[in-house]
C-alpha cells in the first residue's frame, strides 16, 4: 500500500506537523510512503522520502521539489508535455492545527475524490473548536469540566474560582495556554491567548487531576490503544508536547482498574461513532471522583499516537480499507427537462 503523508499547512503547528511526518518514516517501515508538503503559503510539493529531514524545510530547500496540483481523483505534476499522476492508494492527513484539523483538507479531499484517513468535515469542525467540542460532548451524554467562554471584544471578567486554565479555542499543543492562580495574572494570560486566537475557553485548574489518553478507531471492529497516563509536572507544555510528537517507541499502559478502563472506552465510543469514522483520533480524559470527563479531542494526534498501539501500521492499513463512502449523486437534469417540455422547448 502506498500512503501519501500530507503535512505542513498554514498553521501555528506547522513545524510540529513536520516532526510528526518525519516520525512516520520510522514507524511505517513496511509501507511505501509518498510525502506531500503543504507550505505556509498553501502550495503542494512532492518531497523525496529518501531526503526528508527538518533542515529541508527550515532552509526553504523544499521549494526545489516538484510542485503539485489537484485534479479529480489525484495529485498531479504538471509539465510541458502534460500531467503526471502521483500514484497513491490513500492519503493520511497529518497537518496539525489550521488547515488539517479545521476541515479545509478533508473538504478538499472529498471534493477531489481522493481517499483519505482523517476526520471528515463535520468532525473536524467540532473537534477543532474547543467550545464546539463542549457542545458535542454534552449532546452525546459525555461529561466535560465546567467552562467559561470569552471573545477578544468581551469584558475581561471571570466568575469561577481560581486557579483557572486559559486555552485558545482553536489551537492545540498547549500553544497560548496559561495557568492563572489569581486575578493579578489574568490580564497577561489573556493577552498571551489572544495573540493566537480571538476566543478562549476558561476552565477550573484542578491540582493533581488524573488524566488518561486513549486513541483508537473503528474498522470492522473497535481497535483501541492502551490507555496512557501522561507523565507531567503541572501540565504538558509546548516544549514537552513538541518532543512528544516525535515519539515512535511504545509506552506503558496506565495502572487502572478494568472498570475505569471500560468507562473511558465507552466515552470514546460515544464520541467516535459515527462522526469520526475513517480516522484515528485520541481523546484525553480527566477522572475526578471516579467520574470520566472529556478534556479534549485530538483529531490528528501527534505522530498519530503510534506509540500507544501494538500494531499501528497494520491498523492504519485496516482503516484505509474501511473508509466511509460519500453518497454518489447522479444528476440527470430531469427537473429542467420537465420544465422545458412543459414550455414546448424539448
How many structural domains compose the chain?
3
Give me the pLDDT at residue 214, please: 97
Asked if residue 335 is part of any domain, the answer here is: no
Q: Does one domain contain both 136 and 90?
A: no
Residues 233 and 255 in one domain: yes
More confident residue, 200 or 173: 200
Range of the domain at 313: 125-144+208-320
Residue 266 lies in a domain: yes
pLDDT of residue 247: 61
What pLDDT is attached to residue 235? 52
Residue 232 has what pLDDT?
Answer: 64
In the predicted structure, residue 346 carries a pLDDT above the cut 60 = no
In percent, the amount of the chain with pLDDT more than 70 equals 94
CATH of the domain at 188: 3.30.1490.20
For 302-313, how does the pLDDT look when each residue is reduced to its tens digit (9 = 90+)?
Answer: 999 999 999 999
Residues 134 and 254 in one domain: yes
pLDDT at position 132 is 96
Q: Beta partners for 236? A: none
| Largest Cα span, the chain | 78
40-50 average pLDDT score: 96
| Same domain as 133, residue 244 | yes
Lowest mean pLDDT among 126-130, 210-214, 337-341: 337-341
Residue 339 counted as domain residue: no
Q: Are residues 27 and 168 in the same domain?
A: no
What's the average model confidence in pLDDT over 105-126? Answer: 97
Does the pLDDT at position 159 exceed 70? yes
Which tens digit of pLDDT belongs to each residue from 183-204?
999 999 999 999 999 999 999 9
210-259: per-residue pLDDT in tens?
999 999 999 999 999 999 998 765 554 545 554 555 566 678 889 999 99
- Whether residues 274 and 295 share a domain: the answer is yes
What mean pLDDT is predicted for residues 139-163? 94
Say what the pLDDT of residue 342 is: 84
Determine, yes or no, domain membership for 33.
yes
Q: What is the mean pLDDT of the chain?
A: 92
Q: 160 with 90, same domain?
A: no
Task: Say which range, 30-34, 109-113, 251-255, has the weakest mean pLDDT.
Answer: 251-255
Q: Where are the alpha helices (DSSP H) in the chain?
A: 14-27, 54-58, 104-111, 121-128, 130-140, 186-194, 238-244, 258-272, 312-320, 334-342
Helix H, strand E, coil C: the string for 22-44 is HHHHHHCCCCEEEEEEECCCCCE
State the pLDDT confidence band at 176, using cuts at 50, 70 and 90. Answer: confident
User: Among residues of the chain, what percentage have pLDDT more than 90?
Assistant: 83
Per-residue confidence at 86, pLDDT binned at 50, 70, 90?
very high
Domain holding 296: CATH number?
Answer: 3.30.470.20
By mean pLDDT, which of 42-56, 115-129, 233-247 is the weakest? 233-247
CA-to-CA separations, 44 to 47, 64, 252, 262, 331, in angstroms, rounded = 9, 12, 38, 42, 32
Distance in angstroms (rounded) separating the CA atoms of residues 192 and 176: 6
In a domain, 329, yes or no: no
Angle at 300 between CA 234 and CA 221, to 5 degrees: 110
Q: Indicate the pTM of the whole model.
A: 0.88
- Domain assignment present for 327: no
Contacts of 333 (CB under 8 A, 6+ apart): none
Same domain as 302, residue 279: yes
pLDDT for res 81: 83
Amino acid at each position: 500500500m502506498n500512503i501519501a503523508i500530507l503535512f505542513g499547512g498554514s498553521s501555528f503547528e506547522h513545524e510540529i506537523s513536520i516532526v510528526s511526518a518525519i516520525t512516520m518514516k520510522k514507524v511505517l517501515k513496511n509501507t511505501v510512503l509518498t510525502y506531500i508538503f503543504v507550505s505556509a503559503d498553501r502550495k503542494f510539493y512532492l518531497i523525496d522520502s529518501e531526503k526528508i529531514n527538518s533542515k529541508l524545510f527550515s532552509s526553504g530547500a523544499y521549494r526545489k521539489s516538484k510542485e503539485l496540483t489537484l485534479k479529480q481523483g489525484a495529485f498531479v505534476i504538471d509539465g510541458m508535455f502534460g500531467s503526471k499522476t502521483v500514484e497513491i492508494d490513500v492519503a493520511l492527513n497529518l497537518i496539525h492545527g489550521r488547515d488539517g484539523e479545521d476541515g479545509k483538507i478533508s473538504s478538499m479531499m472529498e471534493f477531489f475524490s481522493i481517499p483519505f484517513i482523517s476526520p471528515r468535515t463535520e468532525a473536524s469542525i467540532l473537534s477543532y473548536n474547543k467550545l464546539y467540542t463542549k457542545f458535542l460532548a454534552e449532546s452525546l451524554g459525555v461529561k466535560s469540566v465546567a467552562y467559561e467562554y470569552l471573545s477578544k471584544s468581551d469584558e475581561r471578567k471571570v466568575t469561577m474560582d481560581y486557579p483557572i486554565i486559559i486555552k485558545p479555542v482553536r489551537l492545540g499543543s498547549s500553544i497560548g495556554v496559561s495557568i492563572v492562580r489569581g486575578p493579578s495574572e489574568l490580564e497577561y494570560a489573556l493577552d498571551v491567548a489572544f495573540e493566537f486566537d480571538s476566543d478562549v475557553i476558561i476552565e477550573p485548574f484542578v491540582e493533581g487531576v488524573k488524566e488518561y489518553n486513549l486513541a483508537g478507531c473503528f474498522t470492522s471492529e473497535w481497535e483501541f490503544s492502551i490507555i496512557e497516563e501522561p507523565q507531567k509536572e503541572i501540565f504538558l507544555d509546548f516544549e514537552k508536547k513538541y518532543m512528544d510528537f516525535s515519539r515512535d517507541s511504545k509506552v506503558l499502559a496506565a495502572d487502572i482498574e478494568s472498570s475505569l478502563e471500560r468507562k473511558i472506552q465507552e466515552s470514546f465510543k460515544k464520541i467516535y461513532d459515527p462522526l469520526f469514522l475513517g480516522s484515528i483520533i485520541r481523546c484525553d480524559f480527566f477522572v475526578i471522583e471516579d467520574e470520566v470527563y472529556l478534556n479534549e479531542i485530538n483529531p490528528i494526534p501527534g505522530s498519530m499516537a503510534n506509540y500507544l498501539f501494538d500494531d499501528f501500521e497494520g491498523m492504519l492499513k485496516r482503516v484505509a480499507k474501511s473508509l466511509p463512502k460519500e453518497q454518489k449523486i447522479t444528476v440527470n437534469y430531469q427537473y429542467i427537462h420537465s420544465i422545458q417540455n412543459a414550455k414546448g422547448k424539448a
